[in-house]
Chains A and B, each alone.
Chain A
Amino acid sequence: MKAARDLLYDSEASLRLVDRAIGELSPEAPRDEAGVTPLRQHLEQSNAAGGDQVDDLLDDYANTAAIVVRFCQSAGMLDSGVVGSLRPTPSGLRAVSARTAAATAAILDGVARAITLVDAMDGRQGATDEARHAISASLREELHLLTDHLQHQDIAAKKLDDIETLFGDLRRRVAQVVSIFSPPSGAAAAAHADNDSLAAYADAPSFQGVH
C-alpha cells in the first residue's frame, strides 16, 4: 500500500485515465479506419513493446477504488450525528462558565450580607430578644442561601463529564479514520483486507468496460 499522500496524488492521474478510457469505450468515441480507439491502439502498441500500461492502469484503478472505499468508511465514522453533537459544546462551556461566575458572585454577595448582619448583632447588644432573633434569622437564611449556590459545582461537573464523553467518542472515531488512511507499515495483508469492497467497486457497471 502506498503512503496516503502518494496515493491521493496518483489517484488524480488514475481518475483521468479511467475517465478517458470510459470515454473512448463509448460508441461516440472517435475511431480509426479499423474501428480501434486511440487508447486501445496505444495500449496494444505499448504491450507489444514490452510496456505494462494496462497493468499500471489497473493498479491505479485499484488504488483509486481503495481511496473511494476509505472515504466511504471514514464518512460513516464522522457522521452528521457527531458533528451535530459538537455544535452546542462551545455554548455549553460558556454557559457553565457564566453560571459558575454568577454563583461565585452570589456567594460573595451573601458573605458580605452575612458579615453586615453579624456587625448589626454586635451593635445591638442591648437590643430586645425579638430584634436579635430577627437578625439571627436573617443571618441563618443568608447562610442557607450560600449552600444553594453550591449546586453549580455539581452542574459544572456534570457538563464537563458530558463533554469528556463527547470528546472521547470523537477521539475514537478520528483514530479509526486515521487508521483507515494510514495502515501500519508491514500490514500489507490489512491493505488487501478490503478485497471484497474493491471487487464490488471493480464490478460496478461504470468500470466494467475498463477491464
Chain B
Amino acid sequence: MKFLVVDDSVTMRRVIVNALQRIGYTDAIEASDGDEALTMFDESVGFIITDWNMKRVSGLEFARAVRATPAGQSVPILMVTTRGAREDIVAAMSAGVNNYVLKPFTPTLLKEKIDRLLSQNANAA
C-alpha cells in the first residue's frame, strides 16, 4: 500500500516514514504542504497521513480538496497534529479526516490507528 505523508517539517516526515517502515509499510511518498500533496495524490495512494498546520494549504484544506475528488472519496486520512482540543477534532472530522494522532506518538500507536482505519474501510467496501 502506498502512503502519502504530508508535513511541512522535514523532521516529522522522516519520523513518520521511519515509523511506517518499522510497522511494515515501506511504500511512502512525501509532500511538504497540502498544495504539493494535491499534485501527488491519485488513485494509487491508499492512505494519507497529514499534518494540520502547514504553510499555504493546511491539512484541513487538503483533506477537503481530497474528498472533493473521485479518487479521494474513501481513502483513509489520518491527521498527525499537536492540536487536541475538542473543537479542533470536530473541525478535522468535518473536513473529512477519519482519525488523528497527537504528537508525540509511537509507532505502535500509529499502527493501531492505521489498522483500525484500514479495517473500517474494508468493512465499508
Contacts and interface: CB of A to CB of B under 8 A. Distances in A.
A155 interface: yes
A148 to B, nearest CB: 6
A154 B103 CA distance: 9
Contact of B12 (A149, A154, A159, A161): A154
B9 A147 contact: no
A73 B100 CA distance: 42
A157 interface: yes
Given A144-B18, A147-B18, A161-B53, A155 B104 contact: yes
B22 A144 contact: yes
B116 interface: no
Contacts of A161: 53
A208 B107 CA distance: 73
A150 B103 contact: no
A147 B14 contact: yes
Nearest to B22: A144
B93 interface: no
Interface residues of B, number: 16
B56 to A, nearest CB: 14
Interface string A133-150: 000000000001001111
B121 to A, nearest CB: 26
A157 B7 CA distance: 13
A158 interface: yes
Contacts of A148: 15, 19, 104, 106-107
B53 A151 contact: no
Q: Which of B7, B14, B103, B105 has the most CB of A within 10 A?
A: B103
B103 to A, nearest CB: 5
B104 A151 contact: yes
B11 interface: yes
A152 interface: yes
A151 B107 contact: no
B26 interface: no
A188 B59 CA distance: 49
A85 interface: no
A37 B82 CA distance: 70
B15 A147 contact: yes
15 contacts: A144-B18, A144-B107, A147-B14, A147-B15, A148-B104, A148-B106, A149-B104, A150-B14, A151-B103, A151-B105, A154-B15, A154-B103, A155-B104, A158-B82, A159-B82
Interface of A: 103, 144, 147-155, 157-159, 161
Given A147-B18, A154-B12, 5 more contacts: A151-B15, A151-B104, A152-B104, A157-B9, A161-B53
